Amino acid sequence: MRSTPVEFLTDDEAAAYGRYAGPPSQVDLERVFFLDDEDRKLVDLRRGDHMKAGFALQLVTVRWLGTFLEDPLDVPGEVLDFVGGQLGIADLAVVKRYTERVKTKSDHQREIRRKYGLRDFADAEAELTEWVAARAWTSGDGPKAIFLDAMTWLRERKVLLPGVTTLVRLVARVRDETTHGLWHVNRAQREAAKDKARKHPRLARASARLAVAVEALFESDGWGAPDEEPRVSQVWQAIEAVVSRSDLRAALTVVSETVPSPGAEDPDDWRAGLLGRYQTIAGFLKLLPSVILFGATAEGTPVLAPMRALPDVLAYRGKLPAPLIPGRLIDESAVNGLWRRLVFGHPAHEGDAVSRHAYAFCILEQFWRGLKRRDIYADASTRWRNPQARLLEGQAWAAVRADVLTTLGLPADPGALPAEHCS
For residue 415, what pLDDT band results from cuts at 50, 70 and 90? confident
What is the per-residue pLDDT for 244? Answer: 82
SS (H, E, C) 77-116: HHHHHHHHHHHCCCCHHHHHHHHCCHHHHHHHHHHHHHHH
What is the per-residue pLDDT for 382? Answer: 62
Least confident window among 37-46, 272-281, 384-393, 395-404: 384-393
212 touches 221 (CB < 8 A): no
For residue 228, what pLDDT band results from cuts at 50, 70 and 90? low
Residues written for the chain: 423
Mean pLDDT of the chain: 82
What is the per-residue pLDDT for 182? Answer: 60
Residue 168: which residues within 8 A CB-CB, separation 6 or more? 6, 7, 8, 9, 14, 147
What is the per-residue pLDDT for 193? Answer: 58
For residue 259, what pLDDT band results from cuts at 50, 70 and 90? low
Please return the burial class of 243, using the count of CB atoms within 10 Å of its CB with bins 0-12, 13-18 and 19+.
middle
Cα separation, 156 vs 151, whole angstroms: 9
Query: Which DSSP letter does residue 46 get?
Result: S
Query: Which DSSP letter does residue 76 get?
Result: -
Render pLDDT for 124-176 as a digit per residue (tens, 0 to 9): 999 898 888 878 876 767 899 999 999 999 999 999 999 999 999 999 988 88
More confident site: 190 or 243: 243
Pairing of strands 353-355, 376-377: unpaired
For residue 79, what pLDDT band results from cuts at 50, 70 and 90? very high
Least confident window among 146-150, 232-236, 290-294: 232-236
When pLDDT is averaged across residues 268-284 and rounded to a whole number, the result is 75
Q: Model pTM?
A: 0.54
Render pLDDT for 18-62 as a digit per residue (tens, 0 to 9): 999 899 999 999 999 999 999 999 999 999 999 999 999 999 999
What is the per-residue pLDDT for 3? Answer: 44
What is the per-residue pLDDT for 112? Answer: 96
Cis peptide leading into 302, omega within 30 of 0?
Answer: no
Per DSSP, the residues of 306-361 read HHHHHHHHHH---SSPTTEEEGGGS-GGG--TTHHHHHHTTTTPGGGEEEHHHHHH
For residue 85, what pLDDT band results from cuts at 50, 70 and 90? very high
What is the per-residue pLDDT for 280? Answer: 75
What is the per-residue pLDDT for 117? Answer: 95
